[in-house]
Structure 1
């Protein structure tokens, strides 16, 4: 009798765990424009470290196509001008290109206006 109870309880626990795992959502990292701007400004002013830069350009931004284009532009700048030095991670030319990306970001319409209705 105890074996039957143990098997039933084990089955119930595993079923509950399986059900919970099936209904969990995967966590998603979603960077907003203000966060991207802050990270970009940190890189320009020499306050960003390599980890902050990797987080800034490492995640696709499918929720905001204009921001994704700027992220890809930052990746191109990294390929050409990244030094990884301290305090500035980029050459002077790279910093000026990052400033241009910053200006493009500031010129973007607010997110709610850029989405089609």
Structure 2
């Protein structure tokens, strides 16, 4: 009888602890920042990005920053217009030459905007 009470108490303690941890821990959040997009664009321009990584970042909406979301949507549109997912499987770049040029321009624009925002933040 004592052994069954001890087992019950230990199980109750373990389950109670697990429930407490789950209730007190917050939901993890992924927050896309400009440096994430810049790194992704760099990888895409150097042909080091795969489809999964591209889709994980580009297909995930950015709700905290409208400007970044517009950049993300533009990159997604570039992929729809100038990219084919099967190209990477054949060892070719994800985007054709026109798409790569437009992505490079988009990357320069985002880098300039990020630098400007950083300078404003440092001045304040």
TM-score (norm: length of structure 2): 0.73
Which structure 1 residue ranges, 4+ long, deviate > 3 Å from structure 2?
Answer: 111-114
Q: Which residue of 1 aligns with 2:103?
A: 98
Q: Deviations over 1:40-85 (max 9, x none)?
A: 0221232322233223313332233211110111111112211232
Q: Which residues of structure 2 form unaligned runs of 5+?
A: none
Please identify, of 81-90 and 103-112, the stretch whose mean Cα deviation from structure 2 is larger.
Answer: 103-112
How many residues align structurally?
Answer: 114
Task: Say whether 1:61 aligns with 2:62.
Answer: yes
Q: Which residue of 1 aligns with 2:81?
A: 80
Q: Which residue of 2 aligns with 1:70?
A: 71
Please identify, of 12-21 and 78-87, the stretch whose mean Cα deviation from structure 2 is larger.
Answer: 78-87
Q: Which residue of 1 aligns with 2:117?
A: 110
Q: Which residue of 2 aligns with 1:41?
A: 42
Counterpart CA distance in 1 for 2:76 and 2:6 is 59
TM-score (norm: length of structure 1): 0.77
Counterpart CA distance in 2 for 1:55 and 1:112 is 29
Counterpart CA distance in 2 for 1:50 and 1:110 is 30
Residue pair 1:47, 1:87 contacting (<8 A) in 2 also: no
Q: Which residues of structure 1 form unaligned runs of 5+?
A: none
Q: Which has the higher helix share?
A: 2
